[in-house]
Amino acid sequence: MGELLQRLKPRWLEKRLEPADSPAAVAASVVLAVAAALAVTVVLFLAYGANPLAAFYELFHEPFGTLRGFGYTLAGAAPLSLIALGAIVCWRAGFEYLGFEGCFVLGAAASAWLALAAAPGGWLAGLPFPFFLALAIFASAAAGGIWAAATALLRVRSGGNEVLISLMANYVAIFFVQYLVSWPMRAPGSLPETAQMPRATWLPFLWHGGRAHAGILLAVAATLAVWALLKKTRLGFEMLVMGANLRAARYAGIPAGRRMVAAALIGGGLGGVAGMTELLGAQHRLMDGISGGVGFLGLIVALLARLNPLAVLPTAILYAGMSVGADAIERRTTVPTSITLILESLIVLFVLAAELLRRYRVRLPFSREATEAKEAKR
């Protein structure tokens, strides 16, 4: 099989002795991938008769060149960052968890229950906001963490496939929240949603008139916490060893089962806090479909950040900004939003494909190495 693959490999690709893992090589591969995605998108803009420069201007000016748009960008980046950080913790520990959509909606439901209890006449009425926020973070983290840990226990105890289990568990969590907003927590009216959360429970906005809220500050704190966990603690080191080689980790005496459950608790907890930030920072009511697929988009952010916690926040801001810019393009040009979605997808595909350039070197026909190889054959 190895000989067949070697024959099928293009002659202009030469395998490197070691993968190019330097920060410059990683950054160069990402830049090339984004440039290639933009080049393909130019063709799509031209097909619609739109000026590519004007379209790209609208795509990036609205989310990053206006205060209003930047506020929406930061609001969208907060849950994306938290979910991406949770995915990094799980994946770096060798736990291939994909159930963050479920963690998100359950975290939102837990914080909605507390926020409604803080309404006038509720059992949490009059609780100072700092204490309420701490309670909401704990409740949402517990809901998401326990949900993810259940999958980890199934993996540890019975050897189940966490990818399949977590994907199916997403629908269980989504339908459970759908039940909550359709009956026991439903506000009077026809729509399946709760009453609006009391104003005193909302996350504070960062500036007057903007939509950016304190959830982005929670994302910054979580970024530093996850980086410190993986780089500076024994627990994080043992998780990294598990992710690199599970058999070696067990041989070294690392309690792999307990560490995997711990990774699920931390990662799922971050997913639950993401739901809390979306509920109390942006939506302000629990409704059917509150996630909008954020639980899966956060996984894309983690992949684009190459599982580096410090790269998550800028990646999430860029990704959220493109979503804000897509709406601006549709309003002000003839280009539909779907082209921006294609651009986002192409960036992901090209970034993943750029991994090939870190493992193989392109040998051009007129390069010095190719010339020397031809002379050696003669």
Residue 376 lies in a domain: no
Does residue 199 sit within a domain?
Answer: yes
Statement: residue 158 has pLDDT above 60 = yes
Q: Work out how many domains the chain is built from and give that number.
A: 1
pLDDT for residue 338: 83
pTM: 0.91
Q: Report which listed range, 9-13, 25-29, 54-58, 147-151, is most confident.
A: 147-151
Which range scores top for mean pLDDT: 16-30, 33-47, 234-248?
234-248
Residue 223 lies in a domain: yes
Residues 6+ apart with CB under 8 A from 109: 143, 176, 177, 180, 275, 286
Angle of CA points 174, 346, 13, to nearest 5°: 130
Asked whether residue 113 is domain-assigned, the answer is: yes
Which candidate, 176, 172, 192, places its Cα nearest to that of 286? 192
Residue 18 counted as domain residue: no
Which amino acid does the sequence have at 377?
K
Residues 104/111, Cβ–Cβ less than 8 Å: no
pLDDT of 372: 56
Tell me the one-letter amino acid at 38: L
Contact assessment for residue 368 and residue 94, using Cβ atoms and an 8 Å cutoff = no
**pLDDT bucket at 255, cuts 50 / 70 / 90:** very high
Cα dihedral angle (67, 83, 167, 293), rounded to 10 degrees?
-10
3-state class (DSSP) for residue 315? helix
> What integer is the mean pLDDT of 76-105?
98
Range of the domain at 238: 81-310
Q: How confident is the model at residue 365 (pLDDT cuts 50, 70, 90)?
A: low
* Minimum mean pLDDT range among 44-58, 270-284, 327-341: 327-341
Is 208 contained in some domain?
A: yes
Whether residue 186 lies inside any domain: the answer is yes
Helices 129-158 and 162-182 cross at an angle (nearest 10°) of: 140
The rounded distance, in Å, linking the Cα atoms of 75 and 80 is: 9
Instruction: Dump pLDDT digits (tens) for 314-364.
Output: 999 999 999 999 888 888 877 887 888 898 889 888 888 887 777 777 666
Does 339 map to a domain?
Answer: no
